[in-house]
Structure 1
């Protein structure tokens, strides 16, 4: 039985997102709204807030996993506002901090509440795998999504994995998807303005890799009856 926010996310959601962006581009071009979406103007506006802007962004991103809020919209905003370099830095810091807060909440503050929502063979097997393989399971589930991400952060807090190992594995293994989506979103306003940049093509390629590798892996493991195929 799955708890609140535990609905499995479709692995094709990023691909659907790209299709929606394509429709948005057409809408902007037809409506004549491109003059209001100048990336330089937007970044200059955000820059006028100084260090407060990235602090607020990281803070909001840190709270998203704790509150079971979707992180993808925030990631896209990070790329648009801060660009490919600082967007990755601020986003991975926020994502890692949020995952850590959920972990610590489950381990020290809300253990009973989390345990009541993590019932069934799937979660019992996760606990057993962590007991045997430790941080490697954290790394595996970050790279090959087999569980709802936000609830997974809490679930690891109930396992015996060391916090330092969880923190490092989460940081490293969330980086590929973070880089892919930030590189993509950093060129979104250019795309809405009708210009296809190399960064945009690179971002789309990276997203496809991030999406298709787990899909192919899980299908392979499903045929073999492996851990990743557990539902």
Structure 2
């Protein structure tokens, strides 16, 4: 049993050395030479390409080069599927390596705000994976390892990765295919190039659309809140009115946490990161402002009580 920690250390050191070597020589990666080499495998070329793509993902080699090469080699449809398989297998491999090597160690040492942040990511599960695949806030290769350090379920991670990387994979695969068509020449090359530009424009718009949808506050009615408070997983009610209003004629909801809007940001440590939050004020104006603030700080399970305490009293 004592050999296992040393085995993990040796495996981690070997992986770091391989990544360092790959990153050092990544500028020498020639897409044209890669395509020629893969094409030489004939009927088994797709299998070889998937394996190479997966290995490239683990070693922090640029996935864009692989995706463009996949489009040039296999066309827009099969190329997208083959690219997705390679990227997903690589993401899964990095995820499992990180989980095996460091998940337990990281979980024992997390604390404070970072622990709450990780708990929020784990609570979101596949939804967080879907979001970061559609909106690439972090580098793809690094994100694969980082998510492996959480307790997100493997199956949810794999499915969300495959499904929500598909739009970008198709667009960039088509760009690779369009590049091959342009080299070949002909009238179809212009049309193919225009389609590729349209797809890139659509992919560039996706992050803005997702952020807008995700940033929009969720709403809950007073009767719905009452039903949830009586359920098995009740939300934490956060009343963002002033202390005077909290004790005023409208009263307050039993068990509510009073965090006035102007104090909310400085008192975020009082909020649980792994439970849903229901925000309430006199109507719902301050609650909407509070929801935007919390979502900007990484809180994802946030709902605004429509019409606030006015509706609750009715």
TM over 0.5: yes
Give the superposition deviation at 1:189: 2.2
Is contact 1:143–1:173 with CA below 8 Å preserved after alignment? yes
1:74 to 59, 66, 72: 66
Greater RCO (Cα-Cα under 8 Å, separation 6 or more): 1
Write the mapping of 1:77-88 to structure 2, written as runs, cut at 5 A: 77-88=69-80
Cα RMSD between the aligned structures?
A: 3.5
Corresponding residue number in structure 1 for 2:57? 65
Corresponding residue number in structure 2 for 1:134? 125
Normalised to the residue count of structure 1, the TM-score between the two structures is: 0.68
- Secondary structure of the equivalent of 2:61? coil
* Structure 2 residue ranges without an equivalent (≥5): 1-15, 20-31, 216-288, 299-314
Find the aligned partners of 1:174 and 1:66 in 2 and give their Cα distance.
17
Please give the per-residue CA displacement for 1:193-230, whole angstroms capped at 9, x wherever unaligned.
44434333222211111123315655996x95575787
Is contact 2:181–2:192 with CA below 8 Å preserved after alignment? no
Give the superposition deviation at 1:108: 1.2
Give the superposition deviation at 1:135: 0.9
Give the superposition deviation at 1:124: 5.2
Write the mapping of 1:1-231 to structure 2, written as runs, cut at 5 A: 49-111=41-103, 127-195=118-186, 196-215=189-208, 224-225=292-293
Q: 1:77 to 1:120 in 2, by over 3 A?
A: farther
Is contact 1:114–1:154 with CA below 8 Å preserved after alignment? no
Is contact 2:39–2:73 with CA below 8 Å preserved after alignment? no
Is contact 1:130–1:160 with CA below 8 Å preserved after alignment? no
Larger radius of gyration: 2
Please give the per-residue CA displacement for 1:134-183, whole angstroms capped at 9, x wherever unaligned.
11101111011122211111111111111000000000000000011111
Q: 1:132 to 1:72 in 2, by over 3 A?
A: same
Normalised to the residue count of structure 2, the TM-score between the two structures is: 0.51
Find the aligned partners of 1:146 and 1:120 in 2 and give their Cα distance.
23
Q: 1:49 to 1:124 in 2, by over 3 A?
A: same
| Structure with higher strand content | 2
Is contact 2:57–2:141 with CA below 8 Å preserved after alignment? yes
| Structure with higher helix content | 1
Q: 1:219 to 1:97 in 2, by over 3 A?
A: same
Is contact 1:62–1:99 with CA below 8 Å preserved after alignment? yes
Task: Say how many residue pairs are matched.
Answer: 189
- Secondary structure of the equivalent of 2:42? coil
Find the aligned partners of 1:168 and 1:74 in 2 and give their Cα distance.
21
